[in-house]
Structure 1
């Protein structure tokens, strides 16, 4: 859907102003080629992290034992790994069927998509060190708030 709408918009813009559209596509291609090595490094780091952190390992540490340990582990693993929502949510569904509670799943999936230890190099290139650190800390805070709210809604976390 995204590709189709992008191509459609490019065709419309091309019909409206060929010169600007070609110029914009050239600029975009140059930026893509400039940033491609950083993206490739990120993809390699993601693949390596997913190779070493298997589903079985995640289930073993997230679904059993100390509740606080499971929550901290979920935050750490989620922050280190990186997955898009269309992969993270089905994984969370599998983990839920294995007995992982919703508070831990919320912390895991939220940090996985909002905190970027693996994506730090590319973010630093675009936003700088300070903004990247601040963005990740805000993402971590939001992830904690979301997991606490989910825990309250499902009765896994008490108010006192």
Structure 2
């Protein structure tokens, strides 16, 4: 029982907070509940397809291929592939983290994983199409010319700042993702 309470303590705290909020301000509490229900529905629609695709990636793409194209010695090829995969992705940013965990299991270089997450969050193709139609080609190209080098630079800095031991722990936690 204690382990269940410990595991779900954040959920329980938030549920109690919303309950208290609803008691003191019914309208605001109901708004919070509606937002929570909408977010939950959105996650239920996104997470299952992500996990199906992750299962296929895990089975169909051998570790050696991932290491060759995105591992330690991949260089520019790994960077470009990370940007392309992140840009071609669909769905909210929280969908990128299970993909990153599978990439870690497959031996993808840490900086390439950071680039992938950065590309997922800022250079998605549907978002670019929306920007072109809403804000114009000049804005979109300018933003990309700033964002892509920025993502690469930030990933390189983070890869240097995070100790090898910490990266090893992160990769070990990704291995537990399967279990």
Q: CA deviation at 1:86?
A: 4.9
CA contact (8 A) 1:115 1:139 kept: yes
CA distance in 2, matches of 1:20, 1:75: 41
Q: How many residues are aligned here? A: 137
> Which residue of 2 is the match for residue 73 of structure 1?
81
Query: CA deviation digits over 1:89-114, x for unaligned, max 9?
Result: 5334324xx3x4333233234334x2
> Which residue of 2 is the match for residue 117 of structure 1?
124
Give the CA RMSD over aligned residues: 4.5
Structure 1 residues 151 and 13: alpha-carbon distance in aligned structure 2, compared to 1, 3 A threshold: closer
> Which residue of 1 is the match for residue 102 of structure 2?
91
Q: CA deviation at 1:72?
A: 0.8
Q: State whether structure 2 residue 14 is matched by structure 1 residue 6.
A: yes
Between stretches 3-12 and 55-64, larger displacement belongs to 55-64
TM-score, with length taken from structure 1:
0.53
Q: CA deviation at 1:13?
A: 0.9
> Which residue of 1 is the match for residue 23 of structure 2?
15
Structure 1 residues 143 and 2: alpha-carbon distance in aligned structure 2, compared to 1, 3 A threshold: farther
CA distance in 2, matches of 1:64, 1:19: 54
TM-score, with length taken from structure 2:
0.49
Q: Which one has more relative contact order, counting CA pairs under 8 Å at least 6 apart?
A: 1
CA contact (8 A) 1:107 1:144 kept: yes
> Structure 2: any 5+ residue segments left out of the alignment?
1-8, 163-179
> Which residue of 2 is the match for residue 104 of structure 1?
112
CA contact (8 A) 1:102 1:150 kept: no
Q: State whether structure 2 residue 38 is matched by structure 1 residue 32.
A: yes
